[in-house]
Amino acid sequence: MGCLRWAVMLVMGLFVGGLVAEAGNGINAETLKNLDPLRSDVADFLDDDPGPVLVQGLSEFRRGNYPQAARCFLYLLRRDSDNPELMFQLAECYARWGYPDRAARFLRHAVNAGFGPL
């Protein structure tokens, strides 16, 4: 099934199924408390090359291994949180994996971030 068809199905799901209210933004006081800005390795993640993770995610997606593909795309999205294409990839993963509510959430974020093919 093509990307556009999946997108249309997900958008329909938004209107038919309704939206689940979001519970916060995922940042809590404990997470911030444990982040030490003076640690010597605090910026090591900036030196990582995300390319291999993207290739792995796309490969796992094509193989139908949606849990592993989602892990890859979530890792990448944490590094590039405004990337609508990654949000859409996650929406497709969750839709094909059988989690329509999560798919709808990521699709909504993708559209809000400027995802274009819709």
Q: What is the pLDDT of residues 91-113, one digit of tens each?
A: 999 999 999 999 999 999 999 99
Pair 92, 3: CB distance under 8 Å: yes
pTM: 0.67
Q: Look at residues 52, 60, 101, 54 and name the one whose alpha carbon lies nearest to residue 74.
A: 54
Above 50 in pLDDT, residue 19? no
Whole-angstrom distance, CA of residue 26 vs CA of residue 117: 28
Q: Which amino acid is at 21?
A: A
pLDDT of residue 117: 60
Q: Is 73 exposed, middle or buried (0-12, 13-18, 19+ CB in 10 A)?
A: buried
What is the tens place of the pLDDT at every residue in 35-92? 888 888 888 878 888 899 999 999 999 999 999 999 999 999 999 999 999 999 999 9
Whole-angstrom distance, CA of residue 74 vs CA of residue 98: 17
Pair 111, 7: CB distance under 8 Å: no
Q: Look at residues 75, 25, 68, 117 and name the one whose alpha carbon lies nearest to residue 107.
A: 117
